[in-house]
Amino acid sequence: MGTQVQNKAFTPGKIAGLELRNRIIRSGCFEGMCQDGKVTDQLIEHHRRVAEGGVGMTTVAYCSVTFDGRAFGHEMWMCEEILPDLKRLTEAVHKEGAGASIQLGHCGFFASRSEIGKRPIGASRKFCLFRLSVCTEMTEAEIEEKIEDFARAARQAKEAGFDAVEIHSGHGYLLSQFLSPWTNHRRDNYGGSLENRLRFPAAVIRRIRETVGPDFPILVKMNQRDGFKGGIELDEAIQIAQRFEAEGASAIVPSCGFTSRTPLYMMRGNVPSKEMAANQTNPILKLGLILFGSFMVQTYPFEPMYLLEGARRFKDALSIPVVYIGGILSLDDMERAMNDGFEFLEIGRATVRDPDFVKKLEKGEIRESDCDHCNRCIATMDAGGVYCVSEEEGVLRT
């Protein structure tokens, strides 16, 4: 048995009007557990188990604000029909003493045409290698409609008992597609200058704040960098974060990467092309991963706290909390983040590896995760739901 660990990460923390038992948040790790777009018992148990494992709050990922924002059949979308089951999920998490957040977004140009039954929409007409499809440019009327869809989804999340929402404005999702020069080639008031590219995402945050009230936590996940030439870079990202703060964001989660172009940039580590191909039901994508996996999914070496330098820039530029995300694996990593002035931490793979990761750290039973960043958990999302493949094989932990 270990000794109770004294670390600021294990002390209570507050985001807007919400106080959490500690400063550790389970990040939005796509679960692949919403078959037919519905909340399943598997999803509820997954988050109940993470809450039992000691996090201050767990984040349900990914919930599209509308049906046409889905990339897979096992992604949920916010509608009245799923609210009773979402309520069951939040109640299960609350019984374990943790808060519950839900990640709201829209896939934009990499939504699946076969799932949504029409051509995807995006900031501009754009070919998506991930989908081998071309989206249509959103009209101003569609933009206004989506602003209201985000606000409605946030209101419904609050009704379902969620303690916070995390708005996905990074990773190449729809709001990110408007922000990034690589996907936004518009010549109207929503394209060109950063002010114009910010217009839609900023309006979404502002409208959500009007809808949920002054004290309800709105976290915004966004990119420090897109990860390629012609995308968002750090200096612009800081300006974007400042605008989000001005529009009512309660906290910023500065991540990185573009799902449709640099998907492993946000995670780092090994690329499980073989496993992803084996679990892919689309024959074209399966063949593509087999033949061109190294081209479609680049490799980025993992190192602990790989987003720290950029995150410090965000912290220095903002008054609201900056949630550190990116490669936290140990007590030492947590201590370093706390000493740097970050008020909250988001952790993903270490809790997939072991749902009791946080509890074991706090009790002094372990000092670090033994996750080896093989990333094979990514492939399991398309094979019935995310889990640690190494754990199943008995690898690493004895």
How far apart CA 348 and CA 335 sit, in angstroms, is 17
Can 190 be counted among the known catalytic residues? no
How far apart CA 290 and CA 161 sit, in angstroms, is 43
Instruction: List, in order, residues 6 or more apart from 316 with CB less than 8 Å away.
Output: none
Q: 346, 325 in Cβ contact below 8 A?
A: yes
Q: Which residue intervals of 271-367 are DSSP H helices? A: 273-278, 283-296, 308-317, 331-339, 349-353, 357-362
Backbone angles phi, psi at 221, to 5 degrees: -90, 130
Tell me what percent of the chain is helix, strand and coil, each rounded to the nearest 5.
Answer: 40, 15, 40
The DSSP line for 216-262 is S-EEEEEES--SSTTS--HHHHHHHHHHHHHHT-SEEEEE---TTT-
Report cis status (omega within 30 of 0) of the bond before 265: no
| Residue from 173, 265, 306, 324 carrying the catalytic annotation | 173
Instruction: List, in order, residues 6 or more apart from 368 with CB less than 8 Å away.
Output: 329, 330, 331, 332, 333
* Active-site residue list: 173
